[in-house]
Protein backbone atom coordinates (compact mmCIF):
# COMPACT_ATOMS: atom_id res chain seq x y z
CA UNK A 1 0.00 0.00 0.00
CA UNK A 2 1.23 3.49 -0.86
CA UNK A 3 1.94 5.13 2.52
CA UNK A 4 0.99 8.60 1.27
CA UNK A 5 -1.45 8.13 -1.60
CA UNK A 6 -3.54 5.70 -3.59
CA UNK A 7 -7.22 4.88 -3.47
CA UNK A 8 -7.34 4.68 0.33
CA UNK A 9 -6.05 8.24 0.62
CA UNK A 10 -8.63 9.55 -1.87
CA UNK A 11 -11.47 7.70 -0.14
CA UNK A 12 -10.31 9.04 3.23
CA UNK A 13 -10.07 12.60 1.88
CA UNK A 14 -13.52 12.43 0.26
CA UNK A 15 -15.06 11.01 3.43
CA UNK A 16 -13.54 13.66 5.73
CA UNK A 17 -14.13 16.82 3.69
CA UNK A 18 -16.54 18.25 6.27
CA UNK A 19 -14.16 17.52 9.17
CA UNK A 20 -11.27 19.14 7.28
CA UNK A 21 -13.18 22.31 6.42
CA UNK A 22 -11.47 24.54 9.02
CA UNK A 23 -8.01 23.45 7.89
CA UNK A 24 -8.97 23.98 4.23
CA UNK A 25 -10.10 27.51 5.16
CA UNK A 26 -6.69 28.17 6.74
CA UNK A 27 -4.95 26.86 3.62
CA UNK A 28 -7.16 29.05 1.43
CA UNK A 29 -6.15 32.16 3.38
CA UNK A 30 -2.48 31.24 3.02
CA UNK A 31 -2.75 30.44 -0.70
CA UNK A 32 -4.04 33.93 -1.41
CA UNK A 33 -0.85 35.41 0.06
CA UNK A 34 1.19 34.01 -2.85
CA UNK A 35 3.91 36.29 -4.24
CA UNK A 36 2.78 38.31 -7.26
CA UNK A 37 4.06 37.50 -10.72
CA UNK A 38 6.45 40.21 -11.96
CA UNK A 39 5.80 39.14 -15.56
CA UNK A 40 2.00 39.46 -15.58
CA UNK A 41 0.68 42.71 -17.13
CA UNK A 42 -0.86 45.04 -14.58
CA UNK A 43 -4.19 44.92 -16.42
CA UNK A 44 -4.32 41.14 -16.43
CA UNK A 45 -6.71 39.48 -14.00
CA UNK A 46 -4.80 36.18 -14.12
CA UNK A 47 -1.30 35.08 -13.12
CA UNK A 48 0.63 33.21 -15.80
CA UNK A 49 0.95 29.63 -14.60
CA UNK A 50 0.71 27.51 -11.47
CA UNK A 51 2.86 24.39 -11.25
CA UNK A 52 1.68 21.98 -8.52
CA UNK A 53 4.02 19.18 -7.44
CA UNK A 54 2.29 16.41 -5.48
CA UNK A 55 -1.10 17.73 -6.51
CA UNK A 56 -3.12 14.63 -5.58
CA UNK A 57 -6.75 15.49 -6.40
CA UNK A 58 -6.46 18.99 -4.96
CA UNK A 59 -8.59 17.90 -2.01
CA UNK A 60 -7.57 20.77 0.25
CA UNK A 61 -7.59 23.67 -2.23
CA UNK A 62 -10.45 25.55 -3.82
CA UNK A 63 -11.32 25.87 -7.49
CA UNK A 64 -11.76 29.63 -6.92
CA UNK A 65 -8.06 30.08 -6.23
CA UNK A 66 -7.03 27.90 -9.18
CA UNK A 67 -9.21 29.99 -11.49
CA UNK A 68 -6.87 32.93 -10.91
CA UNK A 69 -4.25 31.36 -13.18
CA UNK A 70 -4.11 31.23 -16.96
CA UNK A 71 -2.63 27.71 -16.79
CA UNK A 72 -2.48 25.04 -14.10
CA UNK A 73 -0.01 22.16 -14.51
CA UNK A 74 0.04 19.29 -12.03
CA UNK A 75 2.40 16.39 -11.31
CA UNK A 76 1.77 13.40 -9.04
CA UNK A 77 3.08 9.82 -8.99
CA UNK A 78 -0.36 8.50 -8.00
CA UNK A 79 -2.22 7.27 -11.10
CA UNK A 80 -5.56 8.29 -9.54
CA UNK A 81 -4.45 11.88 -8.90
CA UNK A 82 -4.83 13.27 -12.43
CA UNK A 83 -8.35 11.98 -13.20
CA UNK A 84 -9.62 12.96 -9.75
CA UNK A 85 -8.05 16.44 -10.00
CA UNK A 86 -9.86 16.92 -13.32
CA UNK A 87 -13.08 15.61 -11.78
CA UNK A 88 -12.88 17.99 -8.81
CA UNK A 89 -11.61 21.14 -10.53
CA UNK A 90 -11.85 20.65 -14.30
CA UNK A 91 -15.32 22.12 -14.87
CA UNK A 92 -14.56 25.27 -12.87
CA UNK A 93 -11.27 25.79 -14.69
CA UNK A 94 -12.91 25.35 -18.09
CA UNK A 95 -15.54 27.90 -17.09
CA UNK A 96 -12.85 30.44 -16.21
CA UNK A 97 -10.75 29.76 -19.31
CA UNK A 98 -7.90 28.26 -17.29
CA UNK A 99 -5.92 25.61 -19.16
CA UNK A 100 -5.30 22.43 -17.15
CA UNK A 101 -2.58 19.83 -17.81
CA UNK A 102 -2.20 16.88 -15.41
CA UNK A 103 0.83 14.56 -15.49
CA UNK A 104 1.36 11.21 -13.79
CA UNK A 105 5.07 11.38 -13.00
CA UNK A 106 7.55 11.96 -10.16
CA UNK A 107 8.51 15.58 -10.77
CA UNK A 108 10.84 15.66 -7.75
CA UNK A 109 13.29 13.20 -9.30
CA UNK A 110 13.53 15.36 -12.44
CA UNK A 111 12.99 18.71 -10.79
CA UNK A 112 15.47 20.74 -12.84
CA UNK A 113 13.93 19.53 -16.08
CA UNK A 114 10.40 20.30 -14.89
CA UNK A 115 11.36 23.77 -13.65
CA UNK A 116 13.13 24.59 -16.91
CA UNK A 117 10.02 23.55 -18.84
CA UNK A 118 7.92 25.99 -16.80
CA UNK A 119 10.28 28.94 -16.24
CA UNK A 120 7.64 31.53 -15.29
CA UNK A 121 5.36 29.35 -13.19
CA UNK A 122 4.60 29.81 -9.53
CA UNK A 123 5.62 26.49 -7.93
CA UNK A 124 3.51 24.90 -5.19
CA UNK A 125 4.64 21.76 -3.34
CA UNK A 126 1.31 20.47 -2.11
CA UNK A 127 1.75 18.35 1.03
CA UNK A 128 4.59 16.39 -0.53
CA UNK A 129 7.81 17.26 1.34
CA UNK A 130 6.60 15.82 4.64
CA UNK A 131 5.90 12.50 2.92
CA UNK A 132 9.43 11.97 1.62
CA UNK A 133 10.60 10.22 4.80
CA UNK A 134 8.20 7.38 3.88
CA UNK A 135 9.72 7.04 0.40
CA UNK A 136 13.41 7.32 1.29
CA UNK A 137 15.55 4.54 2.85
CA UNK A 138 16.75 6.52 5.87
CA UNK A 139 15.96 9.63 7.88
CA UNK A 140 19.32 11.19 6.97
CA UNK A 141 18.74 10.61 3.27
CA UNK A 142 15.23 12.03 3.51
CA UNK A 143 16.51 15.19 5.23
CA UNK A 144 19.21 15.60 2.59
CA UNK A 145 16.69 15.12 -0.21
CA UNK A 146 14.36 17.76 1.21
CA UNK A 147 17.28 20.18 1.50
CA UNK A 148 18.28 19.54 -2.13
CA UNK A 149 14.76 20.23 -3.35
CA UNK A 150 14.64 23.55 -1.49
CA UNK A 151 18.04 24.46 -2.96
CA UNK A 152 16.86 23.68 -6.50
CA UNK A 153 14.01 26.16 -6.03
CA UNK A 154 16.36 29.05 -5.23
CA UNK A 155 15.52 32.02 -7.43
CA UNK A 156 11.97 30.86 -8.14
CA UNK A 157 8.62 31.98 -6.72
CA UNK A 158 7.53 28.96 -4.75
CA UNK A 159 5.61 27.78 -1.74
CA UNK A 160 5.02 24.63 0.24
CA UNK A 161 2.42 23.31 2.62
CA UNK A 162 3.64 20.19 4.39
CA UNK A 163 3.52 18.09 7.53
CA UNK A 164 5.81 19.19 10.33
CA UNK A 165 4.72 16.67 12.99
CA UNK A 166 1.89 14.18 13.41
CA UNK A 167 0.65 11.92 16.17
CA UNK A 168 -2.03 10.74 18.54
CA UNK A 169 -4.20 13.17 20.44
CA UNK A 170 -6.95 13.26 23.06
CA UNK A 171 -8.80 15.87 21.02
CA UNK A 172 -12.45 14.86 20.72
CA UNK A 173 -14.08 14.65 17.25
CA UNK A 174 -15.84 17.91 16.50
CA UNK A 175 -13.77 19.91 18.98
CA UNK A 176 -12.43 23.20 17.72
CA UNK A 177 -8.89 23.36 16.32
CA UNK A 178 -6.26 25.89 17.41
CA UNK A 179 -6.34 29.04 15.29
CA UNK A 180 -3.76 29.35 12.53
CA UNK A 181 -0.56 30.90 13.88
CA UNK A 182 2.22 32.82 12.17
CA UNK A 183 5.94 33.12 12.77
CA UNK A 184 9.17 33.75 10.89
CA UNK A 185 11.45 30.88 9.89
CA UNK A 186 14.30 31.00 12.44
CA UNK A 187 17.95 30.80 11.48
CA UNK A 188 19.63 27.42 11.53
CA UNK A 189 21.64 27.00 14.70
CA UNK A 190 25.11 25.36 14.79
CA UNK A 191 23.66 22.12 16.12
CA UNK A 192 21.24 22.02 13.20
CA UNK A 193 18.09 22.71 15.18
CA UNK A 194 16.33 26.00 15.71
CA UNK A 195 15.43 26.62 19.38
CA UNK A 196 12.06 28.15 18.43
CA UNK A 197 11.06 24.79 16.96
CA UNK A 198 10.93 23.07 20.33
CA UNK A 199 8.89 25.94 21.78
CA UNK A 200 6.42 25.81 18.89
CA UNK A 201 6.11 22.02 19.16
CA UNK A 202 5.36 22.31 22.87
CA UNK A 203 2.70 24.94 22.24
CA UNK A 204 0.94 22.92 19.53
CA UNK A 205 1.23 19.73 21.58
CA UNK A 206 -0.62 21.35 24.46
CA UNK A 207 -3.29 22.86 22.24
CA UNK A 208 -3.90 19.58 20.41
CA UNK A 209 -3.67 17.49 23.60
CA UNK A 210 -0.89 15.41 22.04
CA UNK A 211 -0.21 11.92 23.36
CA UNK A 212 3.05 10.01 23.17
CA UNK A 213 5.87 10.82 20.77
CA UNK A 214 4.89 12.61 17.59
CA UNK A 215 6.45 11.77 14.22
CA UNK A 216 8.94 14.34 12.92
CA UNK A 217 8.45 14.81 9.16
CA UNK A 218 11.93 16.42 8.81
CA UNK A 219 10.67 19.69 7.30
CA UNK A 220 11.80 22.19 9.93
CA UNK A 221 14.43 23.77 7.63
CA UNK A 222 12.52 23.88 4.32
CA UNK A 223 12.17 27.68 4.18
CA UNK A 224 14.92 30.31 4.09
CA UNK A 225 15.53 32.24 7.29
CA UNK A 226 12.97 35.01 7.78
CA UNK A 227 10.24 33.43 5.62
CA UNK A 228 6.73 34.06 7.03
CA UNK A 229 5.46 30.63 8.09
CA UNK A 230 1.84 29.68 8.83
CA UNK A 231 1.17 26.90 11.34
CA UNK A 232 -2.10 24.99 10.99
CA UNK A 233 -3.73 22.12 12.84
CA UNK A 234 -5.25 19.31 10.76
CA UNK A 235 -7.50 16.69 12.36
CA UNK A 236 -6.53 13.94 9.93
CA UNK A 237 -8.74 11.34 11.61
CA UNK A 238 -10.32 10.88 15.06
CA UNK A 239 -7.55 10.61 17.62
CA UNK A 240 -4.78 11.62 15.19
CA UNK A 241 -3.68 15.14 14.20
CA UNK A 242 -1.09 16.74 11.95
CA UNK A 243 0.68 20.04 12.40
CA UNK A 244 1.06 21.67 8.98
CA UNK A 245 3.48 24.42 8.02
CA UNK A 246 3.05 26.63 4.96
CA UNK A 247 5.10 29.43 3.48
CA UNK A 248 5.74 31.40 0.29
CA UNK A 249 9.18 32.37 -0.97
CA UNK A 250 9.53 35.27 -3.42
CA UNK A 251 12.02 35.08 -6.28
The residue among 50, 94, 90 whose CA lies nearest residue 73 is 50
CB 110 within 8 A of CB 96: no
The residue among 249, 243, 250 whose CA lies nearest residue 26 is 243
Q: Which pLDDT tens digit goes with each residue over 113-158?
A: 999 999 999 999 999 999 999 999 899 999 999 999 999 999 999 9
CB 77 within 8 A of CB 5: yes
What local confidence, expressed as pLDDT, does residue 84 receive?
Answer: 97
The residue among 193, 212, 204, 213 whose CA lies nearest residue 235 is 204
50 conformational bin, left if phi > 0, alpha if psi -120 to 50, beta if neither: beta
Q: Which pLDDT tens digit goes with each residue over 4-59?
A: 668 999 999 999 999 999 999 999 999 999 998 776 544 445 779 999 999 999 99
Q: What is the C-alpha separation between 119 and 116, in angstroms, rounded?
A: 5
Q: Which pLDDT tens digit goes with each residue over 168-227?
A: 998 777 778 888 989 899 887 655 555 556 666 777 778 888 888 889 999 989 999 999
Q: What is the C-alpha separation between 112 and 210, in angstroms, rounded?
A: 39
Complete domains list, the chain, with CATH: 6-249 (3.40.50)
Tell me how far CA of residue 225 lies from CA of 59, 184, 194, 222, in angstroms.
30, 7, 11, 9
Query: How far is CA 233 from its chain centroid?
Result: 13
The residue among 160, 66, 71, 161 whose CA lies nearest residue 120 is 71
Amino acid sequence: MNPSGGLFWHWHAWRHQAQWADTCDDIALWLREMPASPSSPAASSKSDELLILGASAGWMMSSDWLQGFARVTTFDVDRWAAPLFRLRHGAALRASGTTLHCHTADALTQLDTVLQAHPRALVLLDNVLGQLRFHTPSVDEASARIARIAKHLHGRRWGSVHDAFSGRTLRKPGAGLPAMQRSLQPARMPEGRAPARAVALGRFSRQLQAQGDWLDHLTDQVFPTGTPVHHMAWAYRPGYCHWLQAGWVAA
